[in-house]
A and B are shown apart, each in its own frame.
Chain A
Amino acid sequence: MNKKNRMITRRDFIRGTVYTTLATSLGLGFSNEKDIRAEEKVKVVLVRDEKVLDEQGRIHPEILQKMLDQGVSSLMEEENPLQAWKKLVRPTDIVGIKSNAWNPLPTPKELEAAIEKRVLEGGVSKKNISVDDRGVLDNKVFLSSTALINARPLRIHHWSGIGGCIKNYIMFTSTPWLYHPDACASLASIWSKPMVKGKTRLNILSVIRTQFYGRGAHSFDRRFISDYKGLLIGKDPVALDAIGARLLQLQRVAHFGEDRPLDTTPHHIFVADEKYKLGVSDLRRIELVKLGWMEGALI
C-alpha cells in the first residue's frame, strides 16, 4: 500500500509506528525519537503573557500587541517588529486578514486590530486591508488580495477534530459541506484554490483562550475553555495545527486527569501533510520556540 493510502489503525498507535498529528489526538504516545536534521525543522513560536487577560477576562490590547510583536520578530529573526512585518508584507500588497467569527469563541478583535496596525505600518494603504470571515467570497479586498494573514482561535471541532489554521480557509469555498466527509480530510485542498494559493504570509493561532473539549448542540461548553494567554505564530499552517492539536490534548489530560477522545481525530492535519504537502505535521520536525511566561504551558 502506498504512503498516501496507508491505513492507520489503533494498533499502529499502540506499536508506536505512527507519531504524527493523529497520535496527538489519541494520547497513545510517540515512537522512539529518530534523528531529525535541524534544517528539516519548521519554526513555530509560542508567546505567552499572564497579564494579557485582566481580572474580568478582558484582553489587554497593548500586551497583546507586544506578544504579537515578540512572536513575529522571533519568527522572522528580526529585532525590530516593524522590520519583521516588512519582511511579510510589501506596501503594494492587498492584504486580507482572515479572521473567524464563530460567536462563542471568535478571533479576538484586539488581535485583528494588532495585526492591522502592523500591516498599515508596513506601508500597506488602509483601503487595501480588510478583516473578514464569512464574507470573503464577496469582499473586494480578498478577491483581489496578494497577501493573506490567517488568524483564528484554537478549539476542538466536532467534525474535523480541531478548528485551526487549515480549517479557517473553509470560507474560501461556497460549498463547505463538500469538505465534511471523512472528518474533513480534504480541507487542505482549499489552500490550492486560486483565491488562496501561495498568498498566506503568516498564520496565527490565538491561544489566548482555547476550547479543549466540546459538548452540546454547538459543541461548546464554558467549562472546557482555558485561559491559556498565548499566541502560536508561524508560517506553516500544518505545523501550527499539529502543535495546537497536541496542546488541546494535553489540556484535556490536565482537566480530566486522562485524555478524552475528540469528536473525531484531526487527521485532516496529517492528510494536509502527507497528501496535499501543505506543511509539516510530524511534531519531531517542528521547532517550538517559547517566549515569555511559561507556567502551565504544557507543551
Chain B
Amino acid sequence: MDIKRGIWLFLAFLFSVKLLITGTFVFSADRDGKSMEMKKLFPLKIGSYQSDGKDEFYDRQTAFRYMDGAAELYRSYGFKLLMVRRYAKADHPPIIVETFDMGSSEDAFGVFSYETGDEEVGIGQGSDFGGGLLRFWKGKFFINVYVEQEAPSTKGDILDLGRTVADSIKQEGKKPKLINLLPNENLIERNIRYFHHHQSLNYHYFVSHQNILRLGERTHALLSTYASQTEGKIFLLLIQYPSKTLAAGGFQSFIKAYMPESSTSKTIKTENGRWTTAQFHQKHVIVIFDAPSKEKGEVLTQTTIKNLREGK
C-alpha cells in the first residue's frame, strides 16, 4: 500500500468512527451556515440577561439527544435546526430560549398550533404562555422561552426576553393557505391545528391507530373546531393531498375503514348519536365529525367546497 492511499484510508477510518459516535454527519456546510444565521438572529445581551456563550445546535438526527422522543413532534414537520441558548443573570434562574428553524412559516405555525391551551400574550405572530413556558411563532421560527426553576420575577422576565427575541426576527410568515377555506361561523380560531401526519390528528381527535386517511409528509391537514351552545362541538378535517389520485385513495381508504356501511351520500349517524360525513373534491378530502345533524355536516362540507371553488 502506498503512503498516500494509507493516509486516505486512515482519514476515512477516522470519519467513520466520528460518524459512529455522533450518529450523523457533523456540521455540514449547510448546517454551519444555518447555525451562524441563528446565532446572529438575537442579541447576546437582553436587558440584564447575558447569553452564557454556550449555544447548542441539534438537527433532525441529533434532536433526540436533547429532548428524547419529544423530538418526533418537530420531525413530523419540516424541522431543520434547533438552537438552545441560555441567558444568565446574577441571582436569577437562567432563561432558556429554544429556537426551531421549521423550514417554513406554515410548519412554524403548525408546531405552534399543536398546543394552545394557555394565554395569548401578543408576542410574535401567535403566542401561548402558561406554567412558566412561553411558546410563539414568527416567520419560519418556532420558539420556546422558559426557566427550569420558577421564581416570582420569572413571568415578567420571560415575556420581556421573548418580546425582544420576537422583535429580532424581521420577516413574518404566512399561515397555511388551507385556513382560508374554512367556514367562519362558530369557528374557534385558536383551536385550528395544522399538521402532516396521522399521529398529530390522533392527538387532537383520535380517528384510528392506523393511518386510514393516508396522511404523510406531503399531505397538508387542518383540524378545526366549531362550537356553539346549541350544537356542541363539531370537528372539520380538511386534507390537501399532492394529487387528485392520492386524495381519492385516502378518501376510499377512510370510507372503507371508518364508515363502510355508508351509502353514496357518505354520511352516517355514528353510535354516539352524532353525524359523520366525508367528501372529496379535486385534491382535497373533507370530513365532518360529530355534527348534530346530517344537514349541519353537509352545510359545513358544501361551504368548504364552495370556498375551494372560489379559490379562497
Contacts and interface: CB of A to CB of B under 8 A. Distances in A.
A217 B272 contact: no
Nearest to B132: A222
B131 A265 contact: no
A267 B198 CA distance: 14
Q: Which of B69, B133, B144, B210 has the most CB of A within 10 A?
A: B69
A180 interface: yes
Contacts of B10: none
Given A159-B72, A216-B133, 8 more contacts: A9-B207, A9-B212, A9-B257, A9-B258, A219-B67, A261-B204, A265-B209, A267-B209
Contacts, number: 91
B8 interface: no
A197 interface: no
Q: Which of A159, A160, A262 has the most CB of B within 10 A?
A: A159
Interface in A174-218: 176-177, 180, 182-184, 214-218
Interface in A136-158: 157-158
Interface of A: 7-11, 13-15, 22, 26, 102, 157-160, 176-177, 180, 182-184, 214-219, 221-223, 261-265, 267
The range of chain B's interface size is 20 to 34
A184 B144 CA distance: 26
A34 B258 CA distance: 26
A69 to B, nearest CB: 32
B68 A218 contact: yes
Nearest to B203: A263
Contacts of B117: 215
A183 B197 CA distance: 12
A14 B206 CA distance: 12
A215 B271 contact: no
Contact of A15 (B131, B146, B257, B271): B271
Contacts of A218: 67-68, 70
Given A10-B206, A11-B270, A183-B199, A219 B70 contact: yes
B258 A265 contact: no
Contacts of A221: 131, 133
A264 B258 contact: no
Interface string B177-204: 0000000000000000000000100111
Contacts of A13: 206
Contact of A223 (B131, B144, B203): B131
B274 to A, nearest CB: 9
